Structure 1
Amino acid sequence: MATRHFLHVWLWSIVMAVWASVAHAAPPRAVNCIAPAQPGGGFDLTCRLLSDALAGHDIAVNRRFMPGGVGAVAFNAMINQTPADPATVVAFSEGSIYNLSLGHYGDRGLDDVQWLAALAVDHGAVVVRADAPWRGLPDLLAAVKAEPQRMALGGGGVIGGQDWMRAATMARLAGIDPDRMRFVAFEGGGGCMEALVAGFVAACLNDAGDSQTSIDEGRPLRILAVHSAERLPGALAAIPTAREQGIPLDWPVLRGVYTGPQVPQADVLAWQRLLDDVLRSPAYHDLLASRHLEPMPLTGPRLRERLSRMSQDARTRAVQLGLP
């Protein structure tokens, strides 16, 4: 009887100790947010968004840049170099999940890291220089159809990645053979915008939020179309959707952060509790509006389920476009 009582007390003490560790864990006061690309573009925007959101919680966010392999270098660094560090997070987007799901990160998969939260949703956009001659998406696509090898389209990722898929799908809808399309792949949206300003590509398949943010900061760019079901609010309200211009293609882009595979569960839960509170606050919604983004508060199992569906969508679209 005494043995059973001792065992009961011992087990209960373990449960309470685990509960206490979870209950009292808190996010670190200084965080490294890795943007797996060059400055500018969507990954940088995600880290800046996280920095602004956590400033009110006295958490300092240091932005770091780790281009390479369109996110593969940062993904592997998180697994091999900082797998248990709760103070390091990496920005991801829909394109990251596409690359991961289509084997562009080698044999890595969704279960190799811990996904913390979706911070916002963006939408694909077609961006040209401010002085470009095309007044709308039909004008641009007509020029591409007439000279597909001269009219270079650019985007972040790789041939066969998300931005290429968007360009190829748009080309098909416009009666253009995707195999004749000239697509230039960049490490991220920031690199494409630099090439666009310099005149090396005719248009970038970037996203609305980071593109309009760059325009706000003075870059000589113009958005021809957004890939959303309806017009976006705020400064983007005057920009017609691709649907309105005869190309029925919607392309929402999730933006979020993940952390290492060995970060203790107590720290992961503490991160998720904090981000749940932040993402639902009125101040955060104002912050999203200033970055031309929309809310998409997802953490925990709901986020993991969304990423699984996204992964399946990537493989389905790859098959439709004839990719291996």
Structure 2
Amino acid sequence: MTRKFTAKGLTAKGLTAKGLTAIVLPLAALTGLAGTAQAQDWTPTRSIEFIAPANPGGGWDTLVRTTSRVIQQEGLADQNFAAINVPGGGGAVAWAQIANDSGNPHKLFATSPPIILVPLAGTSRYDHTDFTPIARLITDYSIVLVQADSDYQDLNDLFEAMRENPSLSVGGGSAPGSMDHISMVGVATSAGLEASGVNYIAFSGGGEAMTNLMGGHVEAVVTGAGEASGQLGEGSDVRALGVSAPERMGGVLADTPTYQEQGIDYTFDIWRGVMGTPDMPAEAVAYYEDLFAQMLETDGWQEARDQLGWIDAYQTSEEFGAFLDAQKEEFSEVLTELGLIR
């Protein structure tokens, strides 16, 4: 039996398989945004600090650097977007710094499910309600990677080995109880393992997780498909066992089977977006809403998005805020079931 998570609410059909389904809005909905007129009332007067709350190489870092590059290349902003990495605590270190900069309209940060999961797990005093939602941008999927010469040919091989030897570890770039951990526990329990049988090792970002995979310190790594796509392909040192998408993806991931194709009824979407400091002025929020809406329509963005395997999933500040509230309710139930809420 399966359980499917949606942005509108939770429909329970069992306790094993879990999926998170993002609402993908058509780009046509971007036209006529109410914030456009307001955005003209404020523009940045200096460079914008655009923070990735992790080391280079992970999903937040990829989103920050990709959006910054596209905005600059397309000439959408007069001021520079400066990518800054603030690693630690699965995002908690960066969030603590940002929370102390209330009202600053020149500071943004990339966000995704850990902004909800990490606080729920008790490892951050700040959650999404302490910050200003700007816009949701895309959705991505989880992917499980092993070394290219690994004996594991598919996910079931890996899970059988984990069943026989619970000490085998799987690495991820997010904190315990956060996105990568939840994604891996979800697919493993859907394949028949106990949640306690997943020996998850948290690293400070996707780049560090990959380094430990190549060093043989973990059996596999769970990460975002988008951030992994640049490391896959002919001659790669890593190989993908499966992706959490509902159907096969394109590009270098075209030959990677979904979890469902391997008899594991599980999907998991990784939404990503942008948030700002607490109490950011409404005029600044409107400016950034309009800026990111324009960015999604550019050729430069669409080329980068397709290369990374992302799917546009735009939401305005108000819509994104409501979405985050709904996600907190859904993830609270998941973590409670897994015994990960402290």
Normalised to the residue count of structure 2, the TM-score between the two structures is: 0.82
Aligned with 1:78 (options 74, 98, 107): 98
Shift of 1:147: 1.3
Stretch of structure 1 that moved more, 156-165 or 192-201 = 156-165
Structure 1: which 5+ residue stretches go unaligned?
1-18
Aligned ranges for residues 232-271 of structure 1 at < 5 Å? 232-271=249-288
Aligned ranges for residues 287-298 of structure 1 at < 5 Å? 287-298=304-315
Q: Give the SS at the match of 1:24.
A: coil
State the partner residue of 2:119: 100
State the partner residue of 2:195: 178
- Coordinate RMSD, CA, aligned: 2.2
Task: Indicate if the aligned counterparts of 1:34 and 1:64 stay in contact, CA closer than 8 A.
Answer: yes
Q: Give the SS at the match of 1:254.
A: strand
Aligned with 1:137 (options 155, 167, 170): 155
Shift of 1:264: 1.6
Aligned ranges for residues 58-207 of structure 1 at < 5 Å? 58=77, 59-80=79-100, 82-106=101-125, 108-149=126-167, 151-207=168-224
For 1:101 and 1:277, how far apart are their aligned partners in 2?
A: 34
State the partner residue of 2:247: 230
Task: Indicate if the aligned counterparts of 2:116 and 2:127 stay in contact, CA closer than 8 A.
Answer: no
CA pair 27-280 structure 1, distance change in 2 beyond 3 A: farther
Aligned with 1:279 (options 283, 289, 296): 296
For 1:155 and 1:186, how far apart are their aligned partners in 2?
A: 6
Return structure 1 stretches of 4+ with deviation > 4 angstroms.
Answer: 19-22, 216-219
For 1:30 and 1:269, how far apart are their aligned partners in 2?
A: 18
Q: Give the SS at the match of 2:313.
A: coil
For 1:276 and 1:301, how far apart are their aligned partners in 2?
A: 14
State the partner residue of 1:16: none
Stretch of structure 1 that moved more, 305-314 or 68-77 = 305-314
Which one has the bigger helix percentage? Answer: 1
Shift of 1:111: 2.1
Percent identity among equivalent residues? 29
CA pair 27-230 structure 1, distance change in 2 beyond 3 A: farther
Shift of 1:102: 3.8
Q: Give the SS at the match of 2:239.
A: strand
For 1:297 and 1:217, how far apart are their aligned partners in 2?
A: 33
Task: Indicate if the aligned counterparts of 1:26 and 1:271 stay in contact, CA closer than 8 A.
Answer: no
Shift of 1:231: 1.1
Q: What do residues 16-51 of structure 1 show as CA deviations (whole Å, max 9, x unaligned)?
A: xxx997632124563221111111111110111211
Task: Indicate if the aligned counterparts of 2:115 and 2:127 stay in contact, CA closer than 8 A.
Answer: no
Shift of 1:303: 1.1
CA pair 96-156 structure 1, distance change in 2 beyond 3 A: farther
Stretch of structure 1 that moved more, 139-148 or 168-177 = 168-177
Stretch of structure 1 that moved more, 22-31 or 163-172 = 22-31
Structure 2: which 5+ residue stretches go unaligned?
1-35
For 1:318 and 1:187, how far apart are their aligned partners in 2?
A: 21
For 1:95 and 1:229, how far apart are their aligned partners in 2?
A: 22
Task: Indicate if the aligned counterparts of 2:115 and 2:128 stay in contact, CA closer than 8 A.
Answer: no
Normalised to the residue count of structure 1, the TM-score between the two structures is: 0.87
Q: Give the SS at the match of 1:46.
A: helix
Task: Indicate if the aligned counterparts of 1:235 and 1:292 stay in contact, CA closer than 8 A.
Answer: no
For 1:244 and 1:37, how far apart are their aligned partners in 2?
A: 32
Task: Indicate if the aligned counterparts of 2:58 and 2:207 stay in contact, CA closer than 8 A.
Answer: yes
For 1:233 and 1:28, how far apart are their aligned partners in 2?
A: 40
Aligned ranges for residues 311-322 of structure 1 at < 5 Å? 311-322=328-339
Q: What do residues 228-252 of structure 1 show as CA deviations (whole Å, max 9, x unaligned)?
A: 1111122222211011111111110
State the partner residue of 1:7: none
State the partner residue of 2:32: none
Stretch of structure 1 that moved more, 212-221 or 156-165 = 212-221
